[in-house]
């Protein structure tokens, strides 16, 4: 991959923030970043040509994450957001090693905020198989179980990110798959569900109705996208590189189909953004 530094800017603050995900899931994080940091220039990389990451090997996800980070850095990014739980679990430590000076924000399932709100003391965690089986998640799971006494029941949601990636947000297939996963968690008495994959906020209403259908009186859904935007704000301020000029721009790259990503921007974020295909 080669970078086209169309946003190369003279001051460090004017340089863009690089954000990536296996596909369109990271757009659920981008909407929080844009709300909180409207003046930042953003470069988004959707690795749709290689999605989903959730059923790939650790090695594969690491290789993709390093290649994309290199690309975004070559394009002049001043900070990096890994808007993907799966890539964070596999590669955040390696990216921090490779770029020790770079502000990097990862995302992980929100077990802590979920523990603070559950009444049944049982939390359901929906994520990819790769995230749930990662040592990083298992350590978090163990620590939070010990420190809060809450029971975390995990559910690998195989196939769900793929359907969302295809734009099937409310199709019969998606509703049935969500119902299967959510019913299993409600049957365990979970009253709080953690969205441990950045694709899932796009089907949050489907998840909530599945929980009601499965007999939950009330359900609390935890999405950590907003916490990522807050952490990015803190890091930019701390490093004195927050941009405070006019409204920022958003440009996108994809290893998949540019027209498809363009349509997702329209549908999910209600914005049109230039998209370039990267081989
Ligand atoms: N959106 C990603 C995550 O947060 C992964 C989905 C996938 O590619 O399997 O985990």
Domain ranges in the chain are: 3-107+226-277, 111-223
111-223 and 3-107+226-277 share a CATH fold: yes
Average pLDDT along the chain: 95
Q: Tell the burial category of 275 from Cβ atoms under 10 Å away from its Cβ (0-12, 13-18, 19+).
A: buried
| pTM for this prediction | 0.95
**Which residue's CA is the closest to the ligand 1 atom numbered 2?**
84
Ligand 1 pocket: which of 28, 53, 68, 227 to mutate (most atoms within 8 A of CB): 53
Neighbour order of strands in the sheet with 192-195 = 151-156, 122-127, 192-195, 220-223
- Position 271 pLDDT exceeds 70: yes
Q: Known catalytic residue: 84?
A: yes
HEC readout, 148-181: HCCEEEEEECCCHHHHHHCCCCCCHHHHHHHHHH
In CATH, the number for domain 111-223 is: 3.40.50.1860
Going from the C-alpha of 40 to that of each of 33, 226, 232, the distances in angstroms are 9, 16, 11
Residues of the chain with pLDDT > 90: what percent? Answer: 92
Distance of alpha carbon 240 from its chain centroid, rounded? 25
| Both structure tokens of 254 | 């994809």
- Position 5 pLDDT exceeds 90: no
Q: Known catalytic residue: 157?
A: no
Taking the centre of ligand 1 as the mean of its atom positions, its distance from the CA of residue 232, in whole angstroms, is 20
Consecutive H or E run containing 221: strand 220-223
Other residues' Cβ atoms within 10 Å of the Cβ of residue 118:
21
Which one is catalytic: 84, 126, 182, 185? 84
Taking the centre of ligand 1 as the mean of its atom positions, its distance from the CA of residue 54, in whole angstroms, is 6
> What is the rounded (10 degree) CA torsion for 252, 94, 236, 139?
110
Whole-number pLDDT of residue 138? 98
- Range in 32-41, 80-89, 264-273 the model is least confident about: 264-273
- Under the banding of pLDDT at 50, 70 and 90, the label for residue 10 is low
Pick the CATH number of 3-107+226-277 from 3.90.700.10, 3.10.580.10, 3.40.50.1860, 3.40.50.920: 3.40.50.1860
* Residue 25 alpha carbon, nearest atom of ligand 1: 1
Looking at residues 187-204, what average pLDDT do you find?
98
Q: What is the CA radius of gyration of the chain?
A: 18
Which one is catalytic: 197, 203, 261, 278? 197
**Segments in the chain forming alpha helices (H):** 27-36, 58-74, 85-98, 111-117, 129-132, 135-148, 160-165, 172-187, 204-213, 225-238, 258-264
Whole-number pLDDT of residue 8? 44
Looking at residues 27-39, what average pLDDT do you find?
97
Neighbour order of strands in the sheet with 104-105 = 104-105, 79-82, 17-21, 42-46, 250-254, 275-277
* Residue in 168, 178, 169, 247 with CA at minimum distance from that of residue 214: 178
Q: Tell the burial category of 67 from Cβ atoms under 10 Å away from its Cβ (0-12, 13-18, 19+).
A: middle
Ligand 1 pocket: which of 44, 54, 157, 200 to mutate (most atoms within 8 A of CB): 54
**Which residue's CA is the closest to the ligand 1 atom numbered 9?**
54
Each residue of 116-140: pLDDT tens digit? 999 999 999 999 999 999 999 999 9
Q: Sign of dihedral through CA atoms 184, 188, 189, 191? A: negative
Ligand 1 pocket: which of 55, 60, 198 to mutate (most atoms within 8 A of CB): 198
CA distance 258 to 255: 8
Whole-number pLDDT of residue 245? 85
Looking at residues 59-71, what average pLDDT do you find?
98
* Residue in 161, 155, 152, 228 with CA at minimum distance from that of residue 200: 161
Q: Please, how many CA atoms are within 13 Å of residue 122, restricted to the half-sphere of its CB?
A: 12
Looking at residues 57-80, what average pLDDT do you find?
98
- Under the banding of pLDDT at 50, 70 and 90, the label for residue 108 is very high
Q: Which residues are near ligand 1 (CB < 6 Å)?
A: 21-22, 25, 51-54, 84-86, 128, 131, 161, 197-199
């Amino acid at each position: 991959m080669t970078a086209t530094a169309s946003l190369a800017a003279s001051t460090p603050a004017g340089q863009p923030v690089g954000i990536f995900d296996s596909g369109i899931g990271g757009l659920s994080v981008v909407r929080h970043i844009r709300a909180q940091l409207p003046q930042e220039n953003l470069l988004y990389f959707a690795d749709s040509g290689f999605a989903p990451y959730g059923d790939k090997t650790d090695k594969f996800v690491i290789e993709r994450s390093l290649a994309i980070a290199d690309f975004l850095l070559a394009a002049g990014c001043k900070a990096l957001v890994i808007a993907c739980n799966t890539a964070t679990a596999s590669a955040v430590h390696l990216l921090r090693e490779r770029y020790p000076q770079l502000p990097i924000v990862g995302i992980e399932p929100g077990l802590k905020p979920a523990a603070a709100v559950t009444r049944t003391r049982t939390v359901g965690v929906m994520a990819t198989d790769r995230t749930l089986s990662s040592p990083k998640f298992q350590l978090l799971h163990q620590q939070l179980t010990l420190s809060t006494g809450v029971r975390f029941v995990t559910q690998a949601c195989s196939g769900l990110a793929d359907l969302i990636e295809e734009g099937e947000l409310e199709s019969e297939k998606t509703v049935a798959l969500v119902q299967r996963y959510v019913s299993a968690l409600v049957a365990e008495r979970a009253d709080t569900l953690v969205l441990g994959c950045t694709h899932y906020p796009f089907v949050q209403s489907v998840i909530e109705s599945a929980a009601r259908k499965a007999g939950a009186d009330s359900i609390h859904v935890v999405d950590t996208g907003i916490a990522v935007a807050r952490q990015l704000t803190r890091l930019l301020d701390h490093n004195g590189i927050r941009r405070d000029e006019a409204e920022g721009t958003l440009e996108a790259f994809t290893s998949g189909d540019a027209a498809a990503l363009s349509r997702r921007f329209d549908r999910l974020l209600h914005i049109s953004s230039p998209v370039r295909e990267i081989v």
